[in-house]
């Protein structure tokens, strides 16, 4: 009888040990970076809506280059399973992404079937993304999240949202504070400038005579940097102007964007620079006469939009920002968040 009791007790102890071990293993599986991965997560998207996801996203497709950069920067690169062709062609991005990441096409018209085949938890799009094809993703039980990850005033909140989505809150907070530090620095130095001290700026995208309208990315950069955007009253995001309009407006500063694919060497940049300055009537424009024509790269995505702002602030208000070296800030960013981010040409001359 005594022997039978011992056997029963031993069996009970073995069973309890197995249950505890199983619970411990379950805890390990369901926890990511100190978070319960099975718990719902909440955040605000770029449309101002509160979004709830059933759990942290482990498989993410980003149709947004700025979002892709932010995900890498906050330590969530291994969560990325799909990116756009823009990202897939970018050496710096691909050096920092998993080797098996899939190209899902352009952000305007991504390959919906390929996206579904990758079985993502979340697809992240721009807030104004076309709804074409997105209903198929919803039908496939794939969550769609709208985060812009390029608008200066929302960069840090977008970064924090990505931290919530992936469970990388701590690194996301470090990244957000980096953005807030330099954005705040620029805005604080220019906020009390008198209008008379704000030079007139003509902003041109990589398309000739396509400029920056009210509340566009270029408009915010010019205004925050202490300039007066000549097309700032135009309600179109990217209004088209002509040579006569530019000459008549007589900008004090001209800033033209270039793509990383169009400018790989100083000689490439000089060709664009000379074309700008050589347009009809431009020799009489203040910016040309005073050598205040600059080219700036559009290849500063995500949080690096604030570094782009630093370069522009140095151009528009050199005295206010004489102590700031954007190249050094770029080096800091590359060291902390995205190795290689500062490689290449970002400003000319």
The whole-number pLDDT of residue 5 equals 53
- Cα distances (Å, whole numbers) of residue 179 to 73, 210, 303: 12, 28, 6
- Cβ-count burial 211-227 (b if 16+ within 10 Å, e if not): bbbbebbbbbbbbbbbb
Average pLDDT over residues 110-125: 95
> Residue 329, SS3?
helix
Q: What is the pLDDT of residue 109?
A: 87
* β-sheet bridge partners, residue 312: none
Query: Tens of pLDDT along 222-275?
Result: 999 999 999 999 999 899 999 999 999 999 999 999 988 889 899 999 999 999
78: nearest Cα among 53, 107, 58: 58
What domains, with CATH codes, occur in the chain? 38-166 (3.40.50.1980), 194-348 (3.40.50.1980)
Position 119 scores a pLDDT of: 96
Q: How far apart are CA 65 and CA 46, in angstroms?
A: 15
pLDDT level of residue 97 (50, 70, 90 thresholds): very high
**Using CA atoms, how far apart are residues 255 and 286, in angstroms rounded to an integer?**
13
Mean pLDDT across 195-222: 96
Dihedral angle sign, alpha carbons of residues 23, 28, 29, 32: positive
Question: Is the pTM higher than 0.75?
Answer: yes
Name 228's Cβ contacts closer than 8 Å, sequence gap at least 6: 195, 198, 199, 200, 201, 222
Query: What digits encode the pLDDT tens for the residues 7-66?
Result: 444 444 444 444 444 444 433 333 444 455 678 999 999 999 999 999 999 999 999 999
């Amino acid at each position: 009888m005594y022997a039978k009791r011992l056997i029963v007790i031993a069996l009970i102890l073995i069973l309890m040990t197995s249950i505890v071990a199983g619970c411990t293993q379950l805890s390990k599986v369901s926890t990511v970076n100190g978070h319960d991965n099975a718990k719902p997560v909440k955040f605000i998207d770029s449309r101002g809506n509160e979004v709830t996801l059933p759990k942290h996203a482990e498989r993410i497709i980003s149709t947004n280059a700025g979002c892709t950069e932010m995900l890498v920067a906050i330590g969530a690169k291994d969560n990325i399973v799909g990116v756009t062709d823009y990202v897939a062609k970018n050496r710096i991005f691909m050096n920092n992404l998993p080797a098996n990441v899939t190209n899902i096409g352009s952000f305007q018209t991504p390959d919906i079937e390929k996206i579904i085949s990758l079985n993502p938890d979340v697809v992240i799009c721009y807030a104004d993304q076309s709804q074409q094809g997105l209903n198929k993703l919803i039908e496939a039980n794939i969550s769609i999240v709208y985060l812009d990850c390029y608008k200066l005033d929302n960069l840090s909140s977008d970064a924090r949202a990505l931290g919530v989505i992936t469970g990388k809150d701590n690194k996301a907070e470090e990244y957000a504070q980096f953005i807030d530090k330099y954005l705040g620095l620029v805005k604080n130095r220019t906020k009390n400038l008198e209008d008379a001290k704000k030079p007139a700026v003509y902003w041109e995208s990589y398309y000739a005579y396509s400029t920056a309208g009210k509340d566009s990315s270029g408009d915010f950069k010019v205004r925050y940097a202490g300039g007066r955007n000549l097309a700032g009253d135009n309600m179109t995001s990217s209004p088209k102007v002509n040579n006569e309009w530019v000459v008549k407006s007589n900008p004090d500063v001209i800033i033209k964007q270039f793509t990383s694919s169009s400018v790989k060497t100083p000689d490439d940049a000089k060709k664009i620079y000379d074309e700008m300055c050589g347009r009809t009537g431009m020799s009489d424009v203040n910016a040309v006469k005073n050598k205040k024509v600059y080219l700036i790269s559009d290849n500063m995505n995500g949080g690096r939009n604030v570094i782009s702002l630093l370069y522009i602030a140095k151009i528009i208000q050199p005295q206010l920002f004489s102590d700031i070296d954007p190249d050094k800030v770029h080096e800091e960013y590359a060291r902390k968040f995205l190795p290689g981010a500062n490689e290449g040409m970002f400003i000319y001359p």
